[in-house]
Amino acid sequence: MQVGFHVSNLVRFVRIRAPQSDLTAALPQNPVNPQDAAQLNLNRQRVKHATKALNELDDLLARAKIQQRSGTASVISPGLNLGVIETAATLNSTEEINTATTSYTPFGPVFTGGGGSDALPTLSGVYDGSNGDDTLRFKVTRTGTHTVSRIDVKVYNSVGDRLDTIRINANHPLDREYTLSNGLIFTLGAGTLVKNDDFYMNVYANTPSAVDPDKAFDGIRDDRPNFDHGLAVTAGSFDVNGETIDVYANDTINTVVDRITASAAGVDAVYDNASETVQLTQRSLGSGNDIVLDNDDSGFLIAAKLAGPSTPGLDKESGIALDQTSRFSSVTSGGVLINGYNFNIDVTTDSLTDVITMINDADIGVTASLSNGQRFILRAIEGISISLDDQGSQFFDALEVAEKTYRAVGSSGLSRSRTYQIADATASAVDIVNEIFNPSDNLTGTDSLNGLRDSILSAVRIGAPAGDSAVGLSFAVDSAVGHRFASIDRQTLTRSLRNNLGASQNYFGGLITGLRGALASYDANFGDAAVASGTMLNTSA
Using one digit for the tens of pLDDT, what is the confidence trace for 83-110?
A: 888 899 999 999 999 999 999 999 999 9
**Considering the chain, what is the average pLDDT of its residues?**
83
Query: Which residues, 6+ apart, have CB-to-CB distance to 274 below 8 Å?
Result: none
- Among the ranges given (14-23, 93-102, 104-113, 457-466), the one the predictor scored with the smallest mean pLDDT: 14-23
Q: What pTM, to 2 d.p., does this model score?
A: 0.57
Q: How far apart are CA 241 and CA 78, in angstroms?
A: 41
Mean pLDDT of 403-426: 79
Q: Rounded to 5 degrees, what angle do the CA atoms 274, 305, 260 make?
A: 80
Q: How many CB atoms lie within 10 A of CB 149?
A: 13
At residue 28 the predicted structure's pLDDT band, cuts being 50, 70 and 90, is very low
pLDDT of residue 210: 96
Mean pLDDT of 392-410: 89
At residue 452 the predicted structure's pLDDT band, cuts being 50, 70 and 90, is low
Q: Which residues pair with 238 in a beta bridge?
A: 245
Per-residue pLDDT reduced to its tens digit, 158-203? 999 999 999 999 999 999 999 999 999 999 999 999 999 999 999 9
Q: How far apart are CA 345 and CA 506, in angstroms?
A: 53
Higher pLDDT, 117 or 461: 117
Omega prior to 106 cis, within 30 of 0: yes
Judge whether 128 and 185 are in contact, CB under 8 Å. Answer: no
pLDDT of residue 481: 52
Q: Check pLDDT > 80 for residue 31.
A: no
Mean pLDDT of 51-77: 76
Q: Which CATH class is domain 319-406?
A: alpha beta
Residue type, 121: P
Q: How far is CA 43 from CA 33, 303, 393, 431, 450, in A?
A: 15, 96, 74, 14, 11
Per-residue pLDDT reduced to its tens digit, 470-514? 677 777 766 555 556 778 888 888 887 777 776 777 777 777 777
Q: Check pLDDT > 90 for residue 347.
A: yes
Per-residue pLDDT reduced to its tens digit, 293-303? 999 999 999 99
Q: How many CB atoms lie within 10 A of CB 288?
A: 12
pLDDT of residue 449: 60
Q: How far apart are CA 178 and CA 186, in angstroms?
A: 5
DSSP string, 70-134: ----EEE-----------EEEEE-SS-SS--S-EEE-SS---BSTT---PPEEEEE---STT-SE
Query: Which residues, 6+ apart, have CB-to-CB distance to 428 below 8 Å?
Result: 53, 56
Per-residue pLDDT reduced to its tens digit, 192-220? 999 999 999 999 999 999 999 999 999 99
3-state helix, strand, coil in the chain (%, to 5): 30, 25, 45
Q: How many CB atoms lie within 10 A of CB 402?
A: 11
Q: How far apart are CA 455 and CA 24, in angstroms?
A: 9
Query: Which residues, 6+ apart, have CB-to-CB distance to 343 below 8 Å?
Result: 335, 336, 337, 355, 358, 359, 362
Judge whether 172 and 148 are in contact, CB under 8 Å. Answer: no
Higher pLDDT, 430 or 325: 325
Give first-to-last CA distance, the chain, whole Å. Answer: 42
